[in-house]
Structure 1
Amino acid sequence: MSALRSLRAALGSLGRNPVLFLVGLAYGLVMLPQSALRLTGSLFGSLLPFITFFVAPFFVAGTIGMASESLDGETSLSTLKRVGRNRYVPLLVASFVNVGILIGLAIAGGIIVLLIGLLGFVVGIPLIALVAAGLVGLGIAVVLVFIQFYPVAVSLGDTDAIDSFRQSIRLVRKNPLSTIGYSVINAIAVLIMTLPVSGPMYYRQLQSAQQLQRMQTQGMSSNAISSQMSQLVQFSTQEVVLLSAISLAATMLLFTFQQAYATAFYRDHAPPLEDGTAQTDVSATSGGATLSDDDSRLSDTGSEFADSNTDTTRTNGGLDTDADDSMDDQS
């Protein structure tokens, strides 16, 4: 299965280049305040994603560039800086497009579910709303699968924000079974690596729901219920520190793995661009133009030098001929 082949290639590249995990750690540190404040229930924690949204494209593009190099050998942090800087703006624009797509899908899906739900209520079949919600959710998931490779297309290919989505769609359309396998493996990795953090949070929410039900059956006032529920939902300082450390480690591992695996899968299955070229080499999009210009200048210099030698040879040839003619006349 090609998804497993790409998985082995990604794991091998991570084993040869553990420096990728250092980038994942840096990314995790950037996201750490967001995770910690969310655990404390602070309202500011819900506002931090708007700040980290503008930081993430640098790390994503740079890590993908490093992952691409690691598939061929060794990589370094200089690639993070180079690719992250050169592909930051295109990836940021593509991220805005992705958010717009998600908002559009959510609005359209909500309207469809609402209309079908009203229709089911009129005809006396309320379960039709649940079926509609399931179908809409499935449709949204399919769309997300088709566009999931746009960050890799932007970071590795010489594509703009719109072309990156088209490139991702072409890849999935030509490799449907492999993409399903990739998505399943990726989902399993996400579940395993986020469970140490999400598990305690869901368990605390379950406890809160059970406690709320008991307090309501006991006839407690709404003020007393609200006071006890706020204390039950919040984590202690020690719990926040522990879960934040676990979240940092999970983010480091998950982020690094996802970018390496996505890059390996994309490089194994990327179709040619619309102009017929295959663009999966990060050196071709970041710094490659500079090298080409240098080679061109060197070639021009060499050509001028060769022309100079030719002119000199011709001049010397003319002098030698004149000298020979002079000696013949003297004879």
Structure 2
Amino acid sequence: MAVLQAFRRSPGALVRSPALLVPAFVLFLFQVPQLVLQSTSPLLASVVSLGASLLLLLAIPFFQGGMVGMADEALDGRSSLSAFLAHGKANYVQILVAYLLVVVVNFVLGAVLVAVGFGALLSGAFHLGTLALVTLGIVAAVLVIIYLLLAFFIQFYAQAIVLEGYSAVDGLKRSYSVVRSNLGATFGYMVLAFVISVVLGLSYGGLSLLTTPEAAAEFGLPVLSTGGLVGVGLVMTLVGSVVSAFLLVYSVAFYRLVTR
């Protein structure tokens, strides 16, 4: 089964090519200043977070291209940071276009969902009746389903672009075609990846309590110094980089198995 075969092959690729952890570590490292400033200067932390988000918007396509290319090489042998730079540069434009298309569609869906929520509040405030609320609820549910289906079917666009040389739009179409032809396997892959992501999220949530004095005091945890906050941030960065690199390799291994 492709899901389990890909899962078994992924750890070996990371062991053979530990350089896969470096780009992921650098990407997660962007979060450390925000964690440190969160307890000392919340306003500055918000500004830094906004700047980091804009920078990541431009950096993620390069990261995706480089990591997919490295993972592909690591599954067959070894890879290096030079491969990361080469694949990131070669596929940056196409992945950026595809990524921005996805961001725009998600933004539109999110904006409509917010409008629906606002409409529900107005309906309650002006007592427009149960029918209006039910209608808005159905619309909201449909929007969420559309978002989930979109994420499910186009999740492999970067793999299609890097591994098979598709353009941005064709990469999105290729991802849809691959998923549609492998619905059961893709669902199994998503379930396993989701479980791993939940474990990471819970670990992050527990560690993040230490970075907020109010939350730490509420749960009886120690209030950390600046050095302690940096240490926690680095631990979170290391854990996040290992898990994210593994999931990326896993996605490439799975994509290769269902397309070859």
TM-score, scaled relative to structure 1: 0.64
Higher relative contact order (CA 8 A, sep 6+): 2
Question: 1:105 pairs with 100, 106, 109, which one?
Answer: 109
| 3-state DSSP of counterpart to 2:58 | coil
Q: What is the aligned partner in structure 2 of residue 165 from structure 1?
A: 172
CA 158–38 in structure 1, closer or farther in 2 if over 3 Å, else same: farther
User: 1:177-326 counterparts in 2 under 5 A?
Assistant: 177-201=184-208, 237-270=226-259
| 3-state DSSP of counterpart to 1:154 | helix
Task: Tell me the amino acid that sits aligned with residue 260 of structure 1.
Answer: V
Q: What is the aligned partner in structure 1 of residue 29 from structure 2?
A: 29
Task: Tell me the amino acid that sits aligned with residue 81 of structure 1.
Answer: L
Q: Find the aligned partners of 2:173 and 2:224 in 1 and give their Cα distance.
A: 44
CA contact (8 A) 1:117 1:126 kept: no
CA 112–44 in structure 1, closer or farther in 2 if over 3 Å, else same: closer
Q: What is the aligned partner in structure 1 of residue 53 from structure 2?
A: 49
Question: 1:150 pairs with 147, 157, 176, which one?
Answer: 157
Structure with bigger gyration radius: 1
Q: What is the aligned partner in structure 1 of residue 76 from structure 2?
A: 72
| 3-state DSSP of counterpart to 1:55 | helix
Q: What is the aligned partner in structure 1 of residue 128 from structure 2?
A: 122
1:83 Cα shift?
Answer: 0.9
1:174 Cα shift?
Answer: 0.8
Q: Find the aligned partners of 1:164 and 1:140 in 2 and give their Cα distance.
A: 18
Q: Find the aligned partners of 2:32 and 2:4 in 1 and give their Cα distance.
A: 31
CA contact (8 A) 1:38 1:45 kept: no
CA 97–8 in structure 1, closer or farther in 2 if over 3 Å, else same: same
Q: Find the aligned partners of 1:26 and 1:43 in 2 and give their Cα distance.
A: 20
CA 203–25 in structure 1, closer or farther in 2 if over 3 Å, else same: closer
1:166-191 deviation line (CA, Å, top 9, x unaligned): 11111111111111111111111112
Cα RMSD, aligned residues only = 3.1
1:200 Cα shift?
Answer: 4.4
1:113 Cα shift?
Answer: 5.2
Q: What is the aligned partner in structure 2 of residue 60 from structure 1?
A: 64
Aligned length: 247
1:264 Cα shift?
Answer: 0.8
Task: Tell me the amino acid that sits aligned with residue 14 of structure 2.
Answer: L
Q: What is the aligned partner in structure 2 of residue 285 from structure 1?
A: none
Identity percentage of aligned residues:
28
Gaps of 5+ in 2: none
CA contact (8 A) 1:66 1:76 kept: yes
TM-score, scaled relative to structure 2: 0.80
CA contact (8 A) 1:57 1:91 kept: yes
Segment of structure 1 superposing worse, 134-143 or 246-255: 134-143
1:89 equivalenced with 2:93 (yes/no): yes
Q: Find the aligned partners of 2:49 and 2:31 in 1 and give their Cα distance.
A: 12
1:70-91 deviation line (CA, Å, top 9, x unaligned): 1222222221121111111211
CA 94–85 in structure 1, closer or farther in 2 if over 3 Å, else same: same
Gaps of 5+ in 1: 212-233, 271-277, 279-331
Q: What is the aligned partner in structure 1 of residue 148 from structure 2?
A: 141
Q: Find the aligned partners of 2:146 and 2:48 in 1 and give their Cα distance.
A: 30
CA contact (8 A) 1:66 1:80 kept: yes
CA contact (8 A) 2:35 2:229 kept: no
Q: Find the aligned partners of 1:248 and 1:204 in 2 and give their Cα distance.
A: 13
Q: Find the aligned partners of 1:56 and 1:160 in 2 and give their Cα distance.
A: 17
1:136 Cα shift?
Answer: 3.1
